[in-house]
Structure 1
Amino acid sequence: MAFPPLVAPAASLSDAERVRTARQSRLTEIAEIGQLRLAAARVGVLGAGGIGSPVTLYLASAGVGTIGIIDDDDVERSNLQRQIAFGTADVGRPKATVAAERVRALAPDTRVIEHRTRLTDSNAQELLGGYDLIIDGSDTFDTRYAVADACNALGIPLVWGSVLRFDAQVSVFWSRPSAGSPVRLRDVFPEPPAAGTVPSCADAGVLGSLCGQVGSMLVTEAVKLICGVGEPLLGRMLVIDALSGRSREIPLAAPSGPGRLPLVSPAELAALIAEAPVTLLDVREPEEYADGTIPGARSLPLGALLADPLAVAVTGTVVVFCQQGPRARAAGRALAAAHPDADLRLLAGSYAAWSAASEPSGSLS
């Protein structure tokens, strides 16, 4: 789906900037008007690390007029395997400062704003409010959700990517898009995983070149949104398996009309179960499943399902549920794309509705 340009064009480009960006403005989809829009754009980048390093450099090379770099860390020697904005002489220096120097050397017309502070729930909206678009290259779940919640409240697009080991995900989240349906991070991953359940890059490792690949893709998404060209990844997630050299697309946006997955009420589900075998998929986290689920349901957390929906066995009638509904809808869309002929349904109100209906005064009692 095409989107209107995110920003109005700048009045002009300097002669030096016009020459510097000439190969890009030759693209008919971008042209001079697109280059002027890039010059007017204000993009905030969360983190100057493995993803943020290539992001800041490619934003600058593309001609983005204002780049904000939010990072309170210093360069460490172990960063240099993937954080390409830094060299050995930069060890011990603030990442935001070094990255800003690289941007200024590459694109003198670009304004760089250093935010040498840690983004939190309390300061996120203030830090991000002056930008047209945010790219998240952070590496902690607390920061990722603080950024996503702030972007939701501000109504600005969040270009999002993650990398661990040889695997990566790329998408765009936007609570108030100029076209199409809103898709937010919490629609797909409502809550961060419990502490200790997902290893960090320091524990599990990460392929440095994959960080560069993802960073480049995030900038491509930003350029598309700023210039109003192509089809941004809003409502879609690209999943990359670097070891196999394969990528696949998972739909996230809610389909409309005939393509919408049918809903079954708790009472209708109880009747289905009584009539014939039904595959019940609980896509909540394991600890939620352990606290109570529908009898006979299989635990398949959303993250594991999205990692490989083709591997999920779908035979007969399959009913998907989570706690309230958003995760089940994301799971249902991924399964429908992977298994177009399957009999897939969603439990209306998900487990919360089933649990309430199962109470002594409920409709299932």
Structure 2
Amino acid sequence: MRVLIVDDVAPARRAIRSLLEEDPEITVVGEAENGEEAVALALRLRPDVITMDVLMPVLDGYAATARIMSECPTPIVAVTSLSLEDGTVMARMIEAGAVDVMSKAFSRAPKEWERMRRELVHRVKAAARVSVRGIPEGHASAAQVGCNAAFAASRPPAGRRPRLVVVAASTGGPPALRTLLGGLEASLAAPVLVVQHISKGFTAWMAEWLNGSIGRVVSVAQDGERARSGRVYLAPDDRHLRVLPEEILRLSEAPPVRSLRPSADVLFRSAAQAYGRDVVGVVLTGMGDDGARGARAIKEAGGRVLAQSEESATIFGMPRAVIEAGLADEVLAPNEMARRLLFLCGRGEAS
């Protein structure tokens, strides 16, 4: 795996190089001390992954990331000393095209050095598996056409439409969610419940970011509240989200499901139990297979399942698991999913 390091501070570049090269699978192929150099080296060296500082002279990390994603799309992990607490830095880097953002906190203490090494190597290797191909969102592979064509003509039974939408997302999820939710309307005749796997502490900023990006009411779910049509509710940090009849939301500290809390499978299963055929499950980009078991529960209850297309997904793992299990009614890009959900659920009064 070939990595390009971008940081304007020489000791920081040396530290990142040292951390990465402790792993025999990683080779550092170059270093850049500002964003302009980063763009040039990315074009010349074609690395598998780039680690990107944010505050730099000449061209900062935001602009450099945006240019690289435009000129030679490459997975980028932002490594910054800026505070990530309010989510602003993470939101801006994700908008620019970064696939991950982490704090840069070097220490001479052996335990802290090892912790930083494990985190950095893990994130860089995960980024290397990310597809950042610039294929138009609306493109569908030939393998998906038959699946979509068979379902495209179907309409909900007269007088009966889905009353709930549940969504699963992981790596690459925030941009996909922005496209999906931005294509919906406040008058959508169903609430939208979302499980997004994201670093602890960032769910609240993502709600604010989506609010500002799509002009819709997006909030972190509260225990016992009633979900309202047209609104979006995110599962909070480290809590499972379930939905009961009458759109009542419940949060739980039950054990993680296959190391995940919140788990999309937990949400999807609760939706299937409470709403049966009146629920639509949506599985977006992400590693692993969270959502696949829940999608099966939705299908067995008579509901519908949409999966993100490979061409539009940052990481195809979660959608692939649903598609290969034969559970996807349609395979679509996020913008197409939005149109489909409006068609299926219809419009009601804005809440």
Relative to the length of structure 1, the TM-score reads 0.36
Q: Give the greater-gyration-radius structure (CA).
A: 1
Relative to the length of structure 2, the TM-score reads 0.37
